[in-house]
Amino acid sequence: MASRARRWRVPGAPIRMPRVILAGDIGGTKAQLALFEDGAHPRSPVREERLPTNGSPSLDALVRQFLAGAGVKPSRCVFGIAGPVSGNACITTNLPWHVDGDAMSASLGAPVQLLNDLEANAWGLSTLGTDDLLVLQPGVPGPGNRALIAAGTGLGEAILVQDGDSWRPMASEGGHTDFGSRDSLEDELLLWLRGKYGRVSYERILSGPGLADLYRFYRETRRGQEPPEVAMAFDRAEQPAAVVTETALDGSCERARLVLDRFLQIYGAEAGNLALKALALGGIYVGGGIAPRMLPAIRRGSFMQAFFEKGRLSPVLTRIPVSVVLDPKTALWGAAARAMVR
């Protein structure tokens, strides 16, 4: 559904078309597409739609569907997309698409730039206000880089390199780095996942599908009690991770509560890893769709405790500001912000 839907074209009345940009956040299950007047604030779209991606044959087809309803030709387009971007092209991680930005430019008649989705999210951080963030640790911010970690359909990471008084986003595929276990339970988890997938990355755990697999591991190893109705709901759900989160937060399933706590420990540990790799003295931001749904559990502290546990480097982590990004459209605003840059 379009949240804002002003048509640009009046039937039968030719008008001077304003210069507009098209920005998009293209995920594994949905796409947020929006039109902005060139030079406007990147959080002020004039038309916006959310469309499913998994039923569309290509990004080009999805964009054409959106533009047909808007009745306008954009002057340029920027899309944040889930997958590694190289040479303005991307083979998507969670969709069967090969997106070629240059070919789309020729097809649409307007320049098209592709960004890694986390790079787009990182651009969007500059558009957020204090109400769009939940501070987990105010820390003592100092001069230095920032970093973003975001679990959703997959796991994304990005670094924002300090450049004078601003921060320039840098793309990354850090979510696909090798998972490192921290104790005997995670040793066992690593072996279980290796038997299922071969190589095990952090994304295999820190994602919606990963949370569901973590629950299956706890079930197979008989950790925690599972009420029959929860077992049935999990087995029948299209999105079983949602069942885990819901029953963990409402206290109706001990197994789900244990799973969610371990998920947040691993999430916090990898956020701490990213903070050290980026030396993110300017702050760590936790984005994506999963963290806002788990705020009551995040506030209980297992995320931050694991974030701190870095041995001799722990004092560095206690000084780094940590915030959860609450605005689900940050990547869309970021794509628009990048498009506004000349």
Q: What is the pLDDT of residue 18?
A: 65
Instruction: Give the pLDDT band of residue 342 (cuts 50, 70, 90).
Output: low
Q: What is the pLDDT of residues 279-327, one digit of tens each?
A: 999 999 999 999 999 999 999 999 999 999 999 999 999 999 999 999 9
Same domain membership, residue 301 and residue 335: no
Residue type, 169: P
Calculate ∠ Cα 134-139-143, nearest 5°. Answer: 110
Q: Is the pLDDT of residue 100 over 90?
A: yes
**CB-based contact 322:286 (threshold 8 Å):** yes
Please compute the mean of the pLDDT values over residues 65-89 and round it to a whole number.
93
Q: What is the pLDDT of residue 291?
A: 97
Q: What is the pLDDT of residue 4?
A: 47
Q: What is the pLDDT of residue 308?
A: 97
Residue written as token pair 């709901």: 233
Q: How far apart are CA 82 and CA 79, in angstroms?
A: 10
Q: Is residue 160 part of a domain?
A: no
Q: What is the pLDDT of residue 341?
A: 85
Q: What is the pLDDT of residue 165?
A: 85
Q: What is the bridge-based pairing of β-strands 76-81 and 85-86?
A: unpaired
Q: Is residue 150 part of a domain?
A: no
Please compute the mean of the pLDDT values over residues 99-106 and round it to a whole number.
96
**CB-based contact 321:285 (threshold 8 Å):** no
Same domain membership, residue 287 and residue 335: no
Same domain membership, residue 334 and residue 236: no
Same domain membership, residue 276 and residue 336: no
Q: Is residue 130 part of a domain?
A: no
State the CATH number of the domain containing residue 336: 3.30.420.40
Query: Other CB atoms closer than 10 Å to residue 135's CB: what's the count?
Result: 12
Same domain membership, residue 218 and residue 119: no
Same domain membership, residue 246 and residue 317: yes
Q: How many CA atoms lie within 13 A of 106 on its CB side?
A: 4
Query: Other CB atoms closer than 10 Å to residue 342's CB: what's the count?
Result: 3
Q: How far apart are CA 305 and CA 187, in angstroms?
A: 19
The total of structural domains in the chain comes to 2
Q: Is residue 162 part of a domain?
A: no
Residue type, 274: L
**CB-based contact 156:26 (threshold 8 Å):** no
Same domain membership, residue 119 and residue 218: no
Same domain membership, residue 213 and residue 300: yes
Q: Is the pLDDT of residue 172 over 70?
A: yes
Q: Is the pLDDT of residue 37 over 70?
A: yes
DSSP-derived secondary structure letter, 136: E
Q: Is residue 80 part of a domain?
A: yes
Which stretch of 9-18, 140-149, 154-163, 188-197 has the lowest confidence by average pLDDT?
A: 9-18
Q: How many CA atoms lie within 13 A of 8 on its CB side?
A: 21
DSSP-derived secondary structure letter, 53: S
Q: How far apart are CA 62 and CA 53, in angstroms?
A: 8
Q: What is the pLDDT of residues 10-20, one digit of tens each?
A: 454 444 456 89
Instruction: Give the pLDDT band of residue 28 (cuts 50, 70, 90).
Output: confident
State the pTM of this model: 0.90
State the CATH number of the domain containing residue 206: 3.40.367.20
Same domain membership, residue 187 and residue 119: no
Q: Which of 119, 106, 93 is nearest to 60 (CA)?
A: 106
Q: Is residue 131 part of a domain?
A: no
Give, for 243, the enclosing helix (H) or strand (E): helix 240-249
Same domain membership, residue 180 and residue 61: no
Q: What does the block give as tokens for 332?
A: 């869309």
Partner residues linked to 5 by β-bridges:
47
The domain of 238 spans 174-325
Q: What is the pLDDT of residues 150-168, one digit of tens each?
A: 999 899 999 999 998 889 9
Q: Is the pLDDT of residue 218 over 70?
A: yes
